[in-house]
Structure 1
């Protein structure tokens, strides 16, 4: 994966924004990384899936997992790329239809990789990991497209927020 090319495309499509934003974690930030928007572009989504596949090359696992909504496109692309089945955890258990807290299954002892779009506190990713374990699976890795570097933990990621900002500064030709 070419990280510079991925960053450039994310910047081109407006996935890196500056202002005052309330994040899903409840934190406020001057920088917003919209991986959901970026992943609506096939070339970017393919670069993300390629990058995740590359990062996971040494990790043995049986299934890809994510939490709706941010991780879904990424998990589907990774599932297709690596030919691994997928499970999507719902944010809330559904009481209608067939119900449940997920789409897909986790078999006892399966090794599962949790994918995320952006990690800030890690709360969502760690929640998914606990749900994998509660289902009888084993978490092989947690990987995000972007780690905002605010969790105090090391997560596997394609990009760090600090790298995105540096790249933005170097690509932005409108600054003097």
Structure 2
């Protein structure tokens, strides 16, 4: 149920919108997701509960390994990891949190990392989406440099679209990161879930054909088979 709860919450927060949107890649998308619209305590709390349910389900299924620290890549990952830590505390699991600066600080405590020490910890990275994978790869390098062990990556939405149309394997950014780094990536929901959600919602069913056409053109090999 966390998938539908998340998509409904995203719709309510206007984090998920339908129409015509030009993405950074230049593609014209029939939908757009912006986690920055989860901009209140109640919305963040609801989102964190969805993240926690998705992570717990993946752990039970064996999709990700054990973890004992949450890491939020700057910038959007910082409030997401913090909110998830608060949700786990509510569930009687107290997890340390760490995050990074975009630029190293050369005064005070200095350095790039803030929060709990990473050394020897199994780290779950918490972010909104994986677009090109650059920020996630940088976070993985920081974690390893700090002595941490990446255990998994969780994002809110996996668009399940090809990163590069010339890629014969038709891999998404999330698939490319998982394959190249060996770190599993899970999502609270993905494009397949969004299609199911739109098909069951009378207000959104009119957008389903555009979603299907977009998936047929840009979807990964797994979504277009």
If the length of structure 2 is used for normalisation, what is the TM-score? 0.66
Secondary structure at the counterpart of residue 145 of structure 1 = strand
The structure with the greater share of residues assigned to strand is 1
User: d(CA) in 1 for partners of 2:48 and 2:69?
Assistant: 19
| 2:68 paired residue among 36, 39, 62 | 62
Map Cα deviations across residues 129-161 of structure 1 (whole Å, 9 max, x no partner): 111011111111111111222314352111113
User: d(CA) in 1 for partners of 2:52 and 2:109?
Assistant: 30
Secondary structure at the counterpart of residue 136 of structure 2 = helix
Alignment partner of 1:120 is 2:131: yes
User: d(CA) in 2 for partners of 1:48 and 1:65?
Assistant: 14
Alignment partner of 1:47 is 2:50: yes
1:77 alignment counterpart? 83
Map Cα deviations across residues 74-93 of structure 1 (whole Å, 9 max, x no partner): 21122231411010112222
User: d(CA) in 1 for partners of 2:49 and 2:200?
Assistant: 24
With over 3 angstroms needed to count, the CA separation of the structure-2 counterparts of 1:165 and 1:102, relative to structure 1, is: farther
Map Cα deviations across residues 62-118 of structure 1 (whole Å, 9 max, x no partner): 211111221122211222314110101122223344332121143432211111111
Question: Which consecutive residues of structure 2, in runs of 5 or more, have no partner in the other structure?
Answer: 161-171, 179-184, 207-225
Question: Which consecutive residues of structure 1, in runs of 5 or more, have no partner in the other structure?
Answer: none
CA RMSD of aligned residues (A): 2.5
Deviation at residue 166 of structure 1 after TM alignment: 4.3
Larger Rg: 2
Number of residue pairs matched?
173
The structure with the greater share of residues assigned to helix is 2
2:217 alignment counterpart? none
1:109 alignment counterpart? 120
With over 3 angstroms needed to count, the CA separation of the structure-2 counterparts of 1:73 and 1:49, relative to structure 1, is: farther
- The answer on whether the counterparts of 2:72 and 2:98 sit within 8 Å (CA) in structure 1 is yes
